[in-house]
Each structure stands twice: as structure tokens, then as C-alpha cells.
Amino acid sequence: METLKIFLAGRWCEGRGEEMSSVFPADGTVNARLRAANVDDVNDAVAAAEKAWRAPTWRGLVPHQRAEILHRVSDLITEQVESLAQLQTRDNGKPLAETRGLVMSAAATARYFAAACEVLEGELPPQRNPEVMTLSQYQPLGVIAAITPWNSPIASEMQKVAPALAAGNAVVLKPAEATPLMALKLAELFEQAGLPAGLLSVLPGKGSVIGEALARHPLVKKISFTGGTSTGRHLAHVAAEKLIPTSLELGGKSPTIVLEDADLEQAARGICYGIFSSAGQACIAGSRLFVHRSLYQPLLVRLCELTAGLRIGNPLQPGIHLGPLINDKHRQSVADYVALAQQEGGRILIGGEVPADPRLAAGSYYLPTIIEGLCNRARTCQEEIFGPVLVAMPFDDEEQLIAQANDSVYGLAAGIWTRDFPRAMALAGLLEVGTLWINTYKTFSISTPFGGYKQSGLGREKGLHGIQAYMQQKSLYLSLNNQPNRWSD
């Protein structure tokens, strides 16, 4: 067990809030303790950030000089992949195979936005007046409030911090209360890379205290949030009152669709990965399964076979498919949804309980679960469970399928399994989601924008949209005519 400090404007210091802990979900042991930040820490961090981003030592840098820092951070991450992956596994319980991928994703994100800030161009719009030239530039917003979730800390945090810094801003980062370790480690890496003091602060603590104070601070010029829809809606109201932009990546209840011509084995394995990797604790988890009736029974049989073979256990051990859920409270929420599904008429095909293995008794584990017998309007099919629970439903025709798939307040992602690509592309145009996979699931590229429709969020992360989201556009008009304006004659 370590005793940690917060990172406030380039200083490692004790927070002025309550004591908090990082707990290993696999056995309940304490990873580290620290004192959380408080509102005074927020005010100090924002004041320092405002001063730092305006200073010539940052604002005066040309893009490739800012990029050098991000390249150094990427190199530092790459050199420490194994230790960083183990730290993230301790923090949130994901298996090492997954956390290694998340760490490498963070390194790639830093490299991508280093390159993006070097090549990001302004615009020279077509001239409408031969005597006036117009230019369009992109400039930083100022101080950014970045608020991140517990399910993929280092990847989510880098997806906000890297583009915001590349764009010339300063960032105050508020990690999830349950998972402060990776954000503090990230601050250490940026410090080692030579980021000027004040441009990054990491303030662990309660969202209702730190996140709220950050969002409402008058010097904060953008809120970037990944998390639950209810919190995102509240932050959108705060941002609207301040007339500042937001990026909100929120919840999902993603449909996965299997057409009658799909490769059954490919679909079954992809669906299994799409819902049960990360123990279902992913906003993009393919939690609603729509299968053409002709394939429904054989696909469910194969899915249950695959699910029964998944290895559940200590996420630090090799070969584990599912680690624990983040904590006992969240596991109880998942169990309550499974009980609700049964009350609504659902039948559990596999799982639906805590593992019987006594070696897992100290952790917050839950078996991967498949349920059938529900209609799409059931609460279990409409509300985000954020756990390893899949609800399977047959369909008969595409009109019925599209109506049900879109019958959700969410619109984050979807998957289609078919050999007929023209048909898949036609369906893709009708599904109300921000990301759609065809014959794959949960594959990503940092160069491709990501975000949701409807209550799954606002704005986009990743890609060139991801850096422009942390900038504001300015238009310049240059007179090419030295003659005085004769209006006042």
C-alpha cells in the first residue's frame, strides 16, 4: 500500500479533501491511500492553468515544439508497458491482456495528436472580394476540465489530455474516484517529458465536489466528460449556462444484429467478445442481441458454449477472460438487473449469479450471463446495465429489426454480422448510432472520430475532430487595397 499525493500545477502535494483509497476489486486489498482534492485545490489549479496556457513558454511554442512533449510521453509509456498495465489492473480489475492494450492505446494517442498538431492547417476560403483576402485560424480555448471514468482510465485520460495540450490549452484532470492511480501516473510521465508547470493538474476526488467545482469555474472554457448520461446531462446544463462547449461521451445500449446469412462461428465469437470483454463494463458493449429467427437457436447454443468456456479469475493471472466488476456495489446493481429481467419474464440461459469458486469470494465477480424471452421494451433491454449481461431476441424482418434496434434513448454503437456487404451498408445508414462495426466489434482507430447519437453524447473524440474540439476558429480579413474608405465623405 502506498500513500500518494495529488498533482497540482506542477507540485506533488497533499490534497485538502477527505481521505480516499484505490482498492483492488479482485480481493478488496487497498492499493494506495491519499487525501482527495477539495474546492480550494480546484481554484488553485485553474488559476495556475490560466496563467500557464497564456505564458509565452507555452502559447509561444510552434506546433512541433508542443509535439515533442507528446512524443516523449509516448516513448515513456512504451518503455513501461508492463508496469503500467499491472497498475491499471490493480486500479480497476481488468485482465492484464486488456490493460496492456489500453496502455499501448494511450501511447498511440499521444503520438497521433503530436502528429495532428504539426499538420493541422488553417483555411484560405475562396475569395468573394478581389480587394480582401480572408484567412481562418484555429486557436486554443484556454483551461479545459477533463473528467474521466473508471472503466478505461489511461486510454480515456489520454484521449482528452493529449489533444487538449496539442491544441495549446491547459488541462485540469479529474479522474474517477474509484481509479485515481493511472491519472496520477500520467501526470508523472508528463512531468518527466518536460511539460511546463501549471499546464496539467490531476485532482482525484468526488465528482459532486471536484467535477462540479471545475465545471462551474468561470475560467474553465470547455468541459470534456466521459461517463453516465445523467451526469452528462447535468454538465451540459452547466455548460449551457456558461455558454462554453462540451464533449460528452455517455452511455449506450448497443444492438448487435445477426442476419440469416452470417457466418455463425464468426458472429458467435464476435458477440461474445463484444459483451463479455471488460466484464461488460464498456459503454459500447453489445448488450442487445437481435438474431434472425432462422439462426436464433443454433447461435444461442454456440454462444452458451463459448460463454461456459470463459475463464474468470484474478486479472493479474495470464489467460483470464473476465476479471471482477469494479466493486461490490456495482456487482449488486448488475445482479438486481438480472433479477428484474426474471421478473419481466426473462429466462437465464447461462450465468446469472456470483461464481461459486471460493477463491473468488473476496472479489466482486459476476458470471457472464445470457438472457432470452424478453421484448425490446423491457427495462433490462432499455437501461444500461454496464456488466456482463446479454439479452437475446429473435427477429423476422428488417423493418421490425430497424424499429427495435433504434428503439432506445441511446445511440452509441452497433454491430452487424452478415456476408452481404451491400445489405450491411444499407442497414448501417438506417441505424441511429455514432459507430457501427460490420463483422467485427470493439475495434478502434485513434484517427477515426468516436461519439454518440441521442443520449449517448455530444461531440466527437479522436481524429482531427478530436483536436479541433479543443480549439476555436478565428476569421481574419486582410485588405489588398490601400485606398481609404470613402463612406464618410
For the annotated catalytic residues, the residue numbers are 249
Asked if residue 205 lies in contact with residue 17, where contact means CB atoms within 8 angstroms, the answer is yes
Q: Per residue in 304-328, is it b (16+ CB within 10 Å) or e — as a string?
A: bebbeebebbbbbeeebbbbbbbbe
Asked if residue 229 lies in contact with residue 388, where contact means CB atoms within 8 angstroms, the answer is no
Order across the sheet with 2-4: list the strands.
2-4, 30-35, 19-23
Q: Cell 481574419 appears where?
A: 476
For the record, the C-alpha cell of 293 comes out as: 429467427
Nearest-angstrom CA–CA distance, 251 and 260: 29
Nearest-angstrom CA–CA distance, 23 and 57: 39
Nearest-angstrom CA–CA distance, 486 and 9: 53
Nearest-angstrom CA–CA distance, 366 and 351: 8
Class of residue 183 by CB neighbours under 10 A (exposed 0-12, middle 13-18, buried 19+): buried
